[in-house]
Amino acid sequence: MGKRRATTLLCLCALAFLSAGALQRSEGQTYTVNVTTGHQDIPATICSGTGCVYRTGQNLQESTVTFGNINKSTFGQYCYYDQLDGQVYGQPLVVTNVTMQADNQTHNAVVYVVTMNGSVYAFDGTPTAPSGAPGVCMNGQVAGPIAHRNLLSVVSPGSTAASCASLGAGGCKTIAPNVGILGTPVISANTGGSTTTGTLYLVLESEVTNGTTTTFSHTLFALDITSLTSTATVPIIVPAGAPPAGCYGTNFSQLHIQRPALLLGGDSYLYIAFSMMDGNQSPLPNGMLLAYNTVGLGGTSTPLCLAMSHGAQNADGAGIWGGGGGPVYAQDPNDSSKHYIFFNTANGVFDLNTGGIDAGDSFIQLSNAGAATPLSIVGSYTPGDQYWRSNKNSQHPGCSPEGDVDFGSGSPILIPDGEDSSWPYLAVSGDKEGGLWFMDWTNPGGYTGSSTCSSTINSDPNVQTFKISTSFPSGPLIHHSPAFWENCCGSAPTNYLFVGTSSQGQGTGELLQYQICGSGNPISSVSPCTQAGTYAYQVSGTPIAFPWGATPSISAASDSQSDAIVWVIWADGSVVPSSTGFTWSLNGEMFPAAQRGILYAFDAVTMKQLYSSNDCRVSGTSVDQINPATKNSIPTVANGFAYVGTQGDLVPNTSCSDPTAACFNTGTFYIFGHFNSPRTVCQ
């Protein structure tokens, strides 16, 4: 049984049925759930100590959306705002009880949405339930923002979001046509007063051209959540020669993107992770992790810096990709004065085992001793076949076959403390070979491999490696971060892990559920822990394909079996909103037609579909449809609503052959919730 329930165990298995007929919120409903970080943990009592960020994806305080009232007749799209100035990659964040300066009104909840064209939008997160068609909210008005601010002009006059064709090797791939605010921001919320105040932290990438010279930059912003005005603006310039070697400033912003979610732990430091731009060619630039002290943050703030490799031009560096997640934070269970930051790396060379700083394909345990001491790696785990994995970057041309087999394709999550009796402090993540990796984050295990081309690991010091795929490279691969949920009810508690897979463009990726055993190896092929897991499937029993995988979210009133829901957004990984058959070329890269996105909700135990935004159809057309989602889109579920950010318009026009056209650079924000009365239009 989990350590967090040592004193009180409250299991409300019947709660879902109490509200099964409630299609309308009571007048006295309170809105209390804040989602302030990407892939959240709610409540935050899943760990020992304070300030932990495990990124399990859970909201265990959602009692409004339940099995009894989530279906196509009672739940659906309230409204949308399709005039965002850029695509939405970051997860929407939610803060309750905020008095916004723009209208001098206190809102039950405000949702903060960022775009790839450098904007921050604040929306009313609890609109009145509509009685008509989707798109209509709040007395017949389309749901516009309470406040909006574009930050590009703050960086410098004439700045634009950075063009993907100018970053790195200009490959663009699945991030196009520009890069602005890519990583999910983080919010520090102050809930002690009559209304909530706080600071939203984000990183903006931009470029500006003067004559024949184009300058690229990253800028850290701290914004007042009540006004979106800046409380601090910090140019991210990594000091040349800052320890350790490899934290260099030359072309930093042209070579790197800031994709992982930002981390704000319990130590007052803001952690910002970088990778090289997708599409870069070898030699790859090294990824970095920066740490800013939020106390006294301002334009002269200098970050602590940790480079993932030495930065030499003849060796590939390691990137921190994120895959829908971000670095995680935990306190040492045996020493409250110590805390650690954990993240994964992908690609690159490796020499941590011989005293170097090259950290390709590794799970990193980081310590921050403060301004007087650089960030330092105090523990790590690296697969024994790292030498074989790194050949993808041409470091070891004698190895065969070459393949994209990153260990750190997604971010790790930490399992709530004590859930597994044998391994009370587990970290888990997936890789592009189709493996789930379990590490003891108090003692990650290090490296016991050798410099050979073998892809076989006879023994490794991590807790377990569980292979989903048996047919690499054509089998299921993992590009995203998993989610965790404990079913407390029934004959015994059952821990579940939810994993999104993809299959190298074959369109057969799945959303999978696995059981964590509770003793011995976390996952076993022996009953009651099954190797096959359970696919996410429609009522007919047909598995649903997620071509690029997915990062799921969990909502439940508690840990009860009856009401846990797995939420996920279907996306095909394309970057251009268009109709079927339309293709687009940018800098030599061809992109397939993007398909409409779909918001799904599944029973967390059976994985049967409870709802999809494709269910309610009129004359064959979904009335809840959403625009194409991005590869890393994550739904935010809080206070009875689901919030989704996507790319923009679906309908191509003649101007769409121009990669600067607005149809490539717009975004849409959606609010889903319950209706005042059941819809009768659904066929």
Highest mean pLDDT among 44-48, 69-73, 135-139: 69-73
Cα separation of 114 and 514, whole Å? Answer: 33
What Rg do the C-alpha atoms of the chain give, in angstroms?
A: 23
For 220, residues 6+ apart whose C-beta sits below 8 A from its C-beta are 201, 202, 203, 232, 233, 234, 235, 236, 270, 272, 292, 297
Q: For 559-590, what is each residue's pLDDT tens digit?
A: 766 689 999 998 865 544 333 333 445 444 44
Closest CA to 39 of 184, 180, 160, 177: 184
Does a structural domain hold residue 680?
no
- The pLDDT confidence band at residue 171, using thresholds 50, 70 and 90, is low
More confident residue, 579 or 190: 190
Question: If you ran DSSP here, which 8-state letter would residue 391 be given?
Answer: G
The CA-based dihedral angle spanning residues 224, 227, 231, 235, taken in that order and rounded to the nearest 10 degrees:
100
- Taking the C-alpha atoms of residue 552 and residue 324, their distance in angstroms, rounded to an integer, is 9
Sheet holding 93-100, edge to edge: 93-100, 105-114, 119-124, 147-150
CA dist 495 and 435 (Å) reads: 19
Using DSSP, state whether 242 is helix, strand or coil: strand
Query: CA 491 to CA 494: how far, in whole Å?
Result: 9
pLDDT of amino acid 160: 95
pLDDT, the chain, mean: 81
Confidence at 472, pLDDT banded by 50, 70, 90:
low
Residue 413: alpha-carbon gap to chain centroid: 11
Coil/strand/helix, residue 302: coil
Residue 38 belongs to a domain: yes
Query: Who has greater pLDDT, 342 or 2?
Result: 342
Asked if residue 440 lies in contact with residue 425, where contact means CB atoms within 8 angstroms, the answer is yes
Q: Which amino acid is at 667?
A: G
Q: What is the pLDDT of residues 131-163, one digit of tens each?
A: 555 555 644 455 689 999 999 999 999 999 998
pLDDT of residue 17: 23
Q: Residue 532 above 70 pLDDT? A: no
Handedness of CA 149, 155, 157, 161 (dihedral sign): negative
How many domains does the chain divide into? 1
Lowest mean pLDDT among 460-464, 584-588, 623-627: 584-588
CATH code (residue 127): 2.130.10.10
Inside any domain, residue 174: yes
The pLDDT value given to residue 449: 87
Helix (H, G, I), strand (E, B), or coil: what is residue 476? coil
Query: What are the phi and psi torsion angles at 655 (to 5°)?
Result: -80, -10
Which residues fall within 8 angstroms of residue 30, CB to CB, at 6 or more apart?
A: none
- Please check whether residue 454 lies inside any domain of the structure: no
Check: CB of residue 510 under 8 Å from CB of residue 502.
no
Whether 624 contacts 613, CB under 8 Å: yes
Residue 472's domain comprises: 3-446+460-674
pLDDT digits (tens, 9 = 90+) for 17-41: 222 222 344 445 678 999 999 999 9
The residues, ordered by sequence, that sit 6+ positions from 496 with a Cβ below 8 Å of its Cβ are 484, 485, 486, 487, 513, 514, 515, 516, 604, 605
Q: How far lies 99's CA from each of 129, 141, 229, 363, 643, in Å? A: 21, 21, 14, 41, 20
Angle subtended at Cα 87 by Cα 86 and Cα 93, rounded to the nearest 5 degrees: 100
Identify whether 532 is part of a domain.
Answer: yes
Q: Which pTM value belongs to this model? A: 0.91
Say which residues have a Cβ less than 8 Å from residue 52's Cβ, sequence separation at least 6: 41, 44, 46, 265, 266, 329, 330, 331, 414
When pLDDT is cut at 50, 70 and 90, the band that residue 120 belongs to is very high
Read off the pLDDT of each residue in 192-198 and give the average, rounded to a whole number: 93
Within a domain: 370: yes
Pick from 403, 404, 413: which is nearest to 278 by CA? 404
Distance CA 373, CA 297 (A): 18
Report the distance separating Cα 148 and Cα 234, nearest Å: 20
pLDDT category, 611, cuts 50, 70, 90? Answer: very high
Hey, which residues does 545 pair with through a beta bridge? none
Domain assignment of residue 398, yes or no: yes
Domain contains 635 = yes
